[in-house]
Amino acid sequence: MIPSSKSCFVSKNPVGFFVLVFVGTLCASSFILANEKPIEEVSARSGETEEGVSPSTDLNELNPQVNTTKNFVDKTHSGISYGVVSTAKWIDSFFKTERFEEEDNKTSLRFRFDNFLDEDGNEFKARVKVKLRTPNLNKRMKFFVVGEEGDVNSSLSLDERVDQVFEGTAEDNISIGLLYQYRETVRKNINLKSGVRLRDNKLVYFVEPRFRWRENFDKWGVYFSQKVGWFSDNGFNINTQFDFDRPLAEDRLFRAIVAADGYEDIDAYFYNINFVYSHLLSDHKGLYYQWVNSFILYAGSKLTETTLKVAYRQRLWRDWLSVEVAPQIQYPRIYDFEARPGLFLRLEMKFDQIKK
């Protein structure tokens, strides 16, 4: 849980540790980019056609000149832009990242069973999520049910744990509501989520609009999302995120993430600087390497913890059944940056396009 005292966040900043983080960032980025492969056209292995990159995709938005010129340079730019988008989406869909789940609008039923082990003991969380496109509602509107139980997952970074406490997902709860998809193209996505959540035997009302914008610059894809939420018990929170995607091949992706969170009733601002290298080994298994750096902006910017994680994910027997194993080492400020190893385990079952 979040420590009640702020002293562990605002103690003297270890300059040497910041230098290590900075130098390590440069070395990691240089190593990855130095060993990159040229981007090729996305193969049929991804299972996507250009028209299938995203529902309601406007190909002119992806590249305004794709249909208006035969110029070699423009066609090359179009192919690279499509490759950046498709590679990122394919890898996100395999690893079921939060970014993918936010915009996955298919009717689905998902069960997740998470377990985290470290020297403090064992924590377990079970979650179920239902997204349902009902025939009596507007095509843009979807009904959802989310149920969660268990303690805060220690494998999460500080700002993610704060977010869980603020939104109430750290305790047993169930949420019911509607998601309205105002606009959905390759470049932008605008939606509004609203409903009620039962937690601590009280009904909490919430409203959460979200905006996402994507742009391609040569071989880099830039992703921006802004989410503002209001909860009747805790007030407002705001989440801002920038992702910088660099496909290294059709099955490899380097991503730098800068994300920040602010809360109405917390006198601090939380932000993360993360680096992720994802590698699909086949259609059914993949690895990702993650370096998470969590900071708090309170009487100056302080590094609160850094985490190194390697995760292996594999689909078992059928595509709807997956297992994930992720050993990690966490260096939290509250333990004077001493190494604290842990192991995260996940079993996931997801059923798409349920026939009614």
What is the chain's pLDDT, residue by residue, as a tens digit (356 residues)? 344 333 443 334 444 444 444 445 444 444 444 444 433 333 334 343 333 344 333 333 334 333 444 454 444 445 545 556 778 887 888 887 777 777 776 778 889 899 999 988 888 888 888 877 666 666 788 888 877 654 334 455 555 655 555 554 545 678 889 888 888 888 899 999 999 988 777 889 999 999 999 999 888 999 999 999 999 988 999 999 999 999 998 899 999 999 999 999 888 899 999 999 999 999 899 999 999 999 999 878 899 999 999 999 999 877 889 999 999 999 999 999 999 999 999 999 988 764 44
The confidence score (pLDDT) of residue 160 equals: 60
> CA-to-CA distance for 189 and 210, rounded, in angstroms?
8
> CA-to-CA distance for 132 and 105, rounded, in angstroms?
9
The answer to whether residue 4 is domain-embedded is: no
> CA-to-CA distance for 75 and 62, rounded, in angstroms?
12
User: Which positions ≥6 away from 246 have C-beta within 8 Å?
Assistant: 33, 36, 219, 220, 221, 253, 254, 255
The answer to whether residue 7 is domain-embedded is: no
The answer to whether residue 5 is domain-embedded is: no
The confidence score (pLDDT) of residue 163 equals: 58
**Cβ–Cβ < 8 Å for 127, 109:** no
> CA-to-CA distance for 47 and 351, rounded, in angstroms?
18
The answer to whether residue 135 is domain-embedded is: yes
Residue 35, classified by CB atoms within 10 Å of its CB into exposed (0-12), middle (13-18) or buried (19+), is: exposed
Task: Using alpha carbons, select from 156, 111, 102, 142 the residue that is nearest to residue 129.
Answer: 111
The answer to whether residue 263 is domain-embedded is: yes
Domain that holds residue 187: 15-352
List the beta bridge partners of residue 179.
142, 193
DSSP 8-state code for residue 51: G
Measured CA to CA in angstroms, residue 93 lies from 40, 173, 269 at distances of 20, 26, 30
The answer to whether residue 10 is domain-embedded is: no
> CA-to-CA distance for 29 and 121, rounded, in angstroms?
35
The confidence score (pLDDT) of residue 265 equals: 84
The answer to whether residue 198 is domain-embedded is: yes
Number of independent structural domains in the chain: 1
CATH number at residue 68: 2.40.160.40
Q: CB neighbours (10 Å) of residue 336?
A: 10
The confidence score (pLDDT) of residue 164 equals: 55
Q: What are phi and psi of 236, to 5 degrees?
A: -90, 150
> CA-to-CA distance for 326 and 273, rounded, in angstroms?
20
> CA-to-CA distance for 278 and 32, rounded, in angstroms?
11
Convert 8-24 to b/e letters by CB count within 10 Å (16 or more is b). Answer: bbbeeeeeeeeeeeeee
Tokens 């680096």 locate to: 275
Helix, strand, coil percent content, the chain, rounded in steps of 5: 20, 50, 30
Alpha helices in 35-71 (DSSP H): 59-62
| Coil, strand or helix at 40 | coil
Q: Per-residue DSSP letters for 249-262?
A: ETTEEEEEEEEEEE
103: amino acid identity, one letter: E
The answer to whether residue 2 is domain-embedded is: no
